[in-house]
Amino acid sequence: MRRLEHFFVALNGWALILMLGAMSLIVGANITMRYLTSHSFPWADEAARYLMIWLTFSGAGLILRIGGHVAITNLQDALPATGQKILRGLLVLGLLIFFGFMVQVGLQYAQRMQYQVTPALRLPFSYVYAAMPVGFGLLIVHLLLIAPKFIMAGTYKRLDDDGTDDGALPGGANG
């Protein structure tokens, strides 16, 4: 299971690297063309925008794994250990429900937009809107993978977690 999780995280990370690289190349080539020839690619801004949307939704799960999203822990810190575990369990349950709802909403949006096309690339907007259910689906998987350790100990996994440490963030900061 650990190898499968490691492969999943690595695949997610490489997908982000490829999208960021493509976005950088597109924007860089467009800037170069604009200054060298006074013309730019008419599709470059649109492609970069859609890649940024995909990056945001696809990367949210990796950030969740390491506790990188905003968290207010005052209530949790004020509770005894058992209360903290219950609160974290309820938080995970609430997030799973919300993420599942957003997958459903994202699928509905993508389905509604299947006949409209983007102005420059002429792609169906459903490809752009598909970032939402894919991203929230990835959030569900990442949350399920870190949930047991988070609920029981309040710690997050590191991206390079090889099982040799407690999974806490460097410096003891856990979000």
Give the predicted TM-score (pTM) of the model: 0.85
Q: Supply the pLDDT for residue 154.
A: 83
Report d(CA 4, CA 2) in Å as an integer. 5
Dump pLDDT digits (tens) for 75-111.
Answer: 988 999 999 999 999 999 999 999 999 999 999 999 9
Q: Supply the pLDDT for residue 71.
A: 85
The b-or-e profile of 150-159 (16+ CB within 10 A means b, else e) is bbeebbbbbe
Question: Would you write out the chain's pLDDT as a tens digit for each of its 175 residues?
Answer: 889 999 999 999 999 999 999 999 999 999 999 999 999 999 999 999 999 999 999 999 999 998 888 888 899 889 999 999 999 999 999 999 999 999 999 999 999 999 999 999 999 999 999 999 999 999 999 999 999 999 998 877 665 555 443 444 333 444 4
Dump pLDDT digits (tens) for 67-76.
Answer: 888 888 899 8
CA atoms within 13 A on the CB side of 46: 15
